Amino acid sequence: MALLEVRNLTMKFGSLVACNDVSFDVEKGSVVGLIGPNGAGKTTLFNCVSGFYKPTSGRMFFDGREVTNLPAHEVARRGAVRTFQVVRPLKEMTVMDNILVGAFLRGADADTAREVAEECLCLCRLEGMADNLAGGLPTGYKKRLEMARALATKPSLLMLDEAMAGLTTTEIRDSIEIIRGLKKGGITLLVVEHIMEAVMSIADKVVVLDSGVKIAEGTPQQIVEDEKVITAYLGAKFTERMKRTGGVTRND
Ligand SMILES: Nc1ncnc2c1ncn2[C@@H]1O[C@H](COP(=O)(O)OP(=O)(O)OP(=O)(O)O)[C@@H](O)[C@H]1O
Ligand SMILES: [Mg+2]
């Protein structure tokens, strides 16, 4: 069953069509990768789905109910929660307090909030960092904190916007493990990511955008062999490298 249904989503900024008649489903319990070149419309799609932008046209359904045009806080309250491409932790607060903010957003009492926050701290492998100030964290940990804070709101759909950008190879591997753990825990994920090897290893399905248009949808294997996707985004070199190595390396 689809947890998220996006139907004919179009978002225009003046004459620029950032998302152009995009439709796809995110099945419950799956990890869906959303990929495409810079400016393809991935973040715009996130902004529409999460209620930060009102789409020009199209409809969205979450957990069987229409969420088109609902404000962001209402979409989040229903369980569809996103992170931001540019991380924005509350810098002067500790890691723990940042995560607590997420838990309190869900309306938890103080004890429950702490329990939830501790659980999210572990899920995102931030144990030992609880008392650090968020502003001083290295990028990799800031990204994980952003994830933990979103998780603390107890989402059923977590939408990650480039949660692995700027991370080291080891940190990427950690993030992959974290995402696998979240999936096992029953969370559905929609993941925007440029690091293809990561997408390949976590996604059940991949949706490809190019200039706002969905140009392909399929299993990771189908996607890396799709001529349109190779031409628009991956490049022949990537496909060659995947055939050669098959491993998780940086896509740069
Ligand atoms: N608020 C906005 N106002 C005007 N144009 C916008 C706005 N947000 C995005 N755009 C434009 O819409 C297009 C899609 O941008 P978007 O940020 O969604 O791409 P993206 O796929 O997330 O790219 P990246 O991989 O670089 O993050 C771009 O041409 C961008 O300049
Ligand atoms: Mg983006």
Name the closest-CA residue to atom 16, ligand 1. 41
Q: Which CATH fold would you assign to the domain 27-55+156-246?
A: Rossmann fold (3.40.50)
**Calpha distance 216→32 (Å, rounded):** 13
Instruction: Give the N- to C-terminal CA distance of the chain in Å, as an integer.
Output: 36
* 165 CA → ligand 2 middle, Å: 11
Q: Per residue in 238-251, pLDDT tens?
A: 777 777 765 544 44
Contact 42 CB / ligand 1 (< 6 Å): yes
- Tens of pLDDT, residue by residue over 199-234, are 999 999 999 999 999 999 999 999 999 999 999 988
- Residue 35 in contact with ligand 1 by CB distance below 6 A: no
Largest CA distance in the chain: 53
39 lines ligand 1 (CB under 6 A): yes
Question: Mapping DSSP to helix (H, G, I), strand (E, B) and coil, where does residue 99 land?
Answer: helix
Specify the pTM: 0.92
Average pLDDT over residues 34-49: 96
CA 150 to chain centre: 11
Q: Ligand 1 within 6 A of 85 CB?
A: yes
Residue with tokens 């977590």: 158
Distance (Å, whole) CA 152 – CA 46? 19
Task: Provide the phi-psi class of 21: left if phi over 0, else alpha when psi is between -120 and 50, else beta.
Answer: left
Q: Which ligand is nearest to the CA of 40?
A: 1
The predicted-structure confidence for 87-118, as pLDDT tens digits, reads as follows 777 889 999 999 999 898 877 789 999 999 99
| Residue linked to tokens 């999210």 | 120
Mean pLDDT over residues 119-131, rounded? Answer: 94
Residue 40 in contact with ligand 1 by CB distance below 6 A: yes
**Closest C-alpha to ligand 1, atom 7:** 13
Task: State the distance from the centre of ligand 1 to the C-alpha of 168, rounded, in angstroms.
Answer: 25
Cα 17 to middle of ligand 1, angstroms: 10
- Could you give the residue range(s) of every CATH 3.40.50.300 domain in the chain? 27-55+156-246
